[in-house]
Structure 1
Amino acid sequence: MSSEPSSRAKASPSDRSSRAIKLDLPSDAGSQPQVTETVEQRIAQELRRLIAEGDLAPGAHLPLRQLAAHFGVSITPVRVALIELAAAGLVVSRPHSGMRVAPMSLEEFEEVWTIRVSLEWWLTRRAVEQVRDHDIERLRGALEKIQHAAHSKAEWPEYVGHSWNYRRYLYSLADRPQMLSNLDTMYVRSARYSRLMLVDGDRIHRAAASMEEVHAAVERRDATAAQEVLRRGMEWTMEAALKQFVSDLPATHEW
């Protein structure tokens, strides 16, 4: 399969920043929140998604008034949401520059991936010990989406999200909400690096094959095997993402 980058991957840093500054957000981004969410939580969650998916590029300006107008709210809940994201390391504030999406850096890469490997390794064992037949069925459906995305170049941009949906459901079975919440933040921060691999079909196929191995171990209720396969897969992903990140410098480095 060709490893030619998609048009999205070819976009220059200035193109990405311009798109982000204009906040060309999906039409459903301003939909009504679920009853369990506050306005601030809804805004923060939507911005997390846009950062993870690369629609808000590193260093992109986050103008309060424009965001408030988009979400149909006052400036106050937007400011609260951005403060929450800043505490999670997703947004930074610089003098005379306002709030911006946090830059990508080697330091962040090492930090978030080290934390992710540790948390996911532990949660995998606990989750597999708790998994039930109906969970297996749901995970199988999530795996099918991973496989479809891996084998369809048009779906490559969706691969990282599908992979995370599988893993997050699995980890939720561990019943450790605080650990899962921390992992959610680490995922958003690390997804920006994972997406750098989406220009290479061979890498995506290998990642999908690793997820198939994880699922096979889950179906056998073999927690030790699931942990080992997951660890190997994440270490390989780290190496591939780091290699791509370094090769893309200075396009992705700290602004």
Structure 2
Amino acid sequence: MKVTLITGATSGIGEAVAHQLAGKKHNLLLVARNEQKLKHLCSVLADKHKIGADYIVTDLSKTHAPNYIYDESKKKNLVVNILINNAGMGSSGVFVKNDLQTELEILQINNSAMVALCHLFLPAMMSNESGSIINVGSMASFFPSPYMSVYAASKMFVLSFTEALTEECRPYGVQVMLFCPGLTTSNFMNTPSNDNEWGKVLTAGANTQTPEQVATEMIRALEKKKTFQVSGRLNAAATKILSLIPNTIIAKQFAKSKRKQMGK
């Protein structure tokens, strides 16, 4: 059975995408850490939309997770023809004061796991000359962001990797898309690494979308076979404006502004 694999599927953007794709009769393979939430979500989606909905429980901060996902999908006789690398993690604060293990887990989830999943599932797509991959970046993909330095750098990696992979896959008929949402009303900023004074200052005044709005734009872009999409008109406009300014100036002014807001 062909399925759409979604990582980070039990909350925020991932959950909203799962609901909307199920409504479009996609069979789903959902990945997250919480088995209870996964089991409930699959049951709801399967009953409501009459689709196939299965799940794999794993933690993408662990190096073995991508291979485990791949092996389990084979055991379940599932063919992943759409891969949505949505799982992500971030942190806010002064880099040297942040927990080092958390910073390294950000790179593992946002970068290493994404690369591994693409590497594992792409060969079959290329062989079949069919399939799609969506790598979820961020508004932070486009410029360095002091006080969320590791997160922003990880998302800049997603941008560069995905743009290159898009062209490598083009001759094989495989769509690869970089999809960049801005601040979204989800639990992303409610984690211990983000729920602090720096996190509040960093997101103050940012344009915000709901997970459902972001999911709608992602799926529309997928169906139009786009290779790049910034979610939200204001975010897209801001990206174009910022592209005209050197990154060193953006970083300097951003840091100065946020320190002032923090009274530092």
More helix by share: 1
Q: TM-score, normalised on structure 2? A: 0.31
Higher-RCO chain (CA-CA 8 Å, sequence separation at least 6): 1
